[in-house]
Structure 1
Amino acid sequence: MTKTISGGCKCGAIRYLGEASDVSTFRCYCRDCQRLTGTGHSEMFPLVAASFQLVGPYSEYQMTGGSGRSTWSVFCPTCGSPLTRRSERMAHCVYVHASSLDEPEEYMPSRSIYTEAAQTWDQPSLNQ
């Protein structure tokens, strides 16, 4: 059975909906995630890209990721909440920031990635 996941930004201007993917959840310590979230890492929950719906005015930032391929991040232009990440490399998924989920308790990270970029004050606690 497919599980529908929903969420949105802090101010409520943006909402999203999509099906949970069978791709693993993860905690990312890459320098891009640190800068995009303003924290030491990001907590990412994958949704099936073909099912993903985003409603409301949003800002999207495109950049080149560590793989050398394009990645995109979506933010609320009103409250600044980071909402999604997607990439050419994993085009079948849209990764939502776990803190933006309506039911954040649905999230449980299964692994950590790019741990070599972790800050000394935010060390990985999961196995890779």
Structure 2
Amino acid sequence: MTAGGCFCGKVRIQLNGQPLKAGLCHCLDCRKLTGSIYSFGFVIKTADLEVLGSPKALVKTSDSGNERHNYFCPDCGTPLFGQGMKADGTPEETTVLRAGILEDSQVLTEWKPQAELYTDRRLEWVPPIEGAAQCSAMIPL
């Protein structure tokens, strides 16, 4: 179990389990969502995610063509997590948690990225992560 939250502290996240996967994404959507040149995320079981506070959702069709709900703090704008939705409007079984919101640096150290996504969009001066799968598109979550 580990916890984290947004910059202003109004939305808190508790992860009540271990990540299933860890990865970097170089797609344009992730760049814009994070304000960085790539995102670092953990794929987690949606059932393991506990949210305290009221994040705001932004719905967008991602680079993969799937509709994603991306959640942010409505006050400070910190990106928190993203989810796909089933046809009935409920979240899919997995969620992508923005790893940088977690406060336990040990968890971040232990879960080195296992894959890099949209590597054809990675900036030339950013080296590949040694040992991580290199994927030119989205992989199944």
TM-score (norm 2): 0.77
1:111-122 map, 5 Å: 111-122=115-126
The equivalent residue for 2:51 is 54
Secondary structure, in 3 states, of the residue corresponding to 1:92?
strand
Counterpart of 2:77 (choices 71, 74, 80) is 80
The answer to whether 1:9 aligns with 2:13 is no
- Offset of 1:88 from its aligned partner? 3.9
Pair 20,113 (structure 1): closer, same or farther in 2 beyond 3 Å: farther
Task: Please list every run of 5 or more consecutive structure 1 residues that lacks an aligned counterpart in the other structure.
Answer: none
Q: Distance in 2 between matches of 1:98 and 1:78?
A: 20
Q: Distance in 1 between matches of 2:97 and 2:19?
A: 14
CA contact (8 A) 1:98 1:104 kept: no
The equivalent residue for 1:39 is 36
Letter in 2 for 1:94: T
Secondary structure, in 3 states, of the residue corresponding to 1:91?
strand
Aligned pair count reads: 125
* Cα shift readout 1:69-126 (whole Å, capped 9, x = no counterpart): 2101111111111111122489211221111002133122222111111133444334
CA contact (8 A) 1:40 1:122 kept: no
